Amino acid sequence: MTDALTMQDAVDGAESGIRPFAIDVSAADLDDLRDQLGRTRWPDQLPDVGWDYGVPLGYLKELADYWRHSYDWLAYQSRLNAFPQFTTTIDSQNVHFLHVRSPEPDALPLLLTHGWPGSVAEFLKVIGPLSDPAAHGGDRADAFHLVIPSMPGFGFSGPTRERGWTVGRIAQAWAQLMSRLGYSRYGAQGGDFGALVSPELGHVDPEHVVGVHVNAASVGFIPWGPVERAELATFTAEEKARLARKERFLTEGSGYFQIQATRPQTIAYSLTDSPIGQLAWITDKFNEWTHGPLEDAVERDELLTNVMFYWLTGTAGSAARLYYENMHAPGNWSRPPSSVPVGVATFAEDVSIRRYGEQGNNIVHWSDFDRGGHFAAMEAPDLLVGDIREFFRALR
């Protein structure tokens, strides 16, 4: 069935510049990675500091050894290539995407957008349940046709080539992508930066977007600046816990943000030249943002596959530029909310607070979960799939 869909999509896309694509990493590139890992120049570390100063030396050495000797990229490449993939050019930018049609002809098209430090590989556990629910114990009426693009500057979309690739410009590109695929009515879902792009689609393409679902939401769903004492007194215990996580992020966890938002080119040299540097940069955030111990939350091979999307494509620097572009773009925070319905899934490590989300979004659905974290599609795919299905049932 996959081959037939690929051929049909190639025929359908001939007029619109949609090109079939398969991931094909050379043996030379994989050998070079293993060689570089074997020549790592390791730093020192203070004794008994755990994760206080960042990724522990012993932990990263062991993870790097596994990456070099045991991790099997080709197995994941085959797994990814089992899904139809394509590239197209939008606004002079190459865009790579998975296009997984449901066997259910009346399925609702759904656009899934990843964030940083994520990739399309984040969604491997949810593609089957969302596109073919009947084969995964669900109701066939909940089926989706899935479009899963690599954001400009990320992964196999390759680096951006000019300034200005902001969240708003990505949303404009996604609207054009869905139109190019022939979808006049669709939903949008995303986490992290995907939770910025997806609501933006409700502003730039409201005639076609039936609903927006987000997880790992922050900007637009959190307070700007300090919360006044009188308002804080009305907070629930859970809201106070989320505010505390947000404050801890600002004081202890936002160094990567400041660097990528101000000096993405400077950090690009280290991340592009050193696989250990890239591994540590991403592993630090996975450890911070997952719920519970990292290796209980996300399988080691999943983490490394995600890292490989940055390493193999040399896109660490261009992905970091997304922070710079958005921090240096004119703000547009005073506009009224889009009328497009919004659903929010808040997992155990998230910071979104409903009262602030309602100031700029037409929120009609809100779920709170006591497990899962920032990478919900990896950590708690069952909860994420269930919440997406529930939200969109009333919008089909």
Q: Any residues with CB less than 8 A from the CB of 121 and at least 6 apart, and which? A: 76, 80, 302, 305, 306, 309
Annotated catalytic residue within 323, 350, 356, 387: 323
Residue 323: active-site member: yes
Residue 71: active-site member: no
CA gap 270, 285 in Å, rounded:
17
Residue 324: active-site member: no
Annotated catalytic residue within 142, 192, 205, 284: 192
Can you name the residues that pair with 145 across neighbouring β-strands? 109
Residue 206 backbone phi and psi in degrees, to 5 = -65, -20
Amino acid letter for position 165: W
Cβ atoms of 385 and 129 within 8 Å: the answer is yes
Q: For tokens 């991790």, name the residue.
A: 71
Cβ atoms of 375 and 286 within 8 Å: the answer is yes
Q: For tokens 């505010």, name the residue.
A: 243
CA 291 vs. chain centroid, Å, equals: 17
Q: Which two tokens stand for residue 381?
A: 């795919």
Burial class (CB in 10 A: 0-12, 13-18, 19+), 121: buried
Q: What residues act catalytically?
A: 192, 323, 374
